[in-house]
Amino acid sequence: MAVRKIILVPHPILREKCTPVRNFSSAAIVAEDLRDTLYAHPGCVGIASQQIGTPERIIAIDASRRKGVVAHGFMVLCNPEVLYREGREIGREGCLSLPDYTANVARATTVVVRARDLEGREMELTARGFEAVVLQHEIDHLEGILFIDRVANVKTDLFRRKKYL
């Protein structure tokens, strides 16, 4: 439908806990905007609804956009929640809402997530590696948590993004 403007830190909507989706037909409209906005940003692999100004529990991810990553492909998840976490790995993360920084963040290497699709049907999926990280990052958004909140040491693990002309 539309590429939407990304809400940037310090906008207060990014710190709100999102409300559950109840109307799945209106969620489908938001999902189209999430898809269009995600694909309009090269390198973007996930986006949460409040990043485009809609504080509902909707995320869109496509970890397969990253070269060499085996993943489920493009997915829209409503009301996602992590049921199970296993393993731990530290990796570099960035965010459209905080474009000038990246950080080392510890995340589970495997997650099981329960969510609803755009028809309102419940589903469960297991994700590993990079896709598990993307899911955790986007689900954190729905709780008002940013990746910088998960940084162990701001002095050693937060980095300014390089600017290229």
Indicate which residue of 32, 86, 138, 143 is catalytic.
Answer: 138
Q: How many helices (H) and strands (E) does the chain have?
A: 3, 8
Residue 103 CB neighbour total at 10 angstroms:
23
Assign residue 87 a region (left: φ > 0; alpha: ψ between -120 and 50; beta: otherwise). left
CA distance 124 to 79: 12
138 catalytic per annotation: yes
Residue 78 CB neighbour total at 10 angstroms:
26
CA distance 19 to 135: 18
CA distance 54 to 48: 9
Which residues have a catalytic role annotated? 138
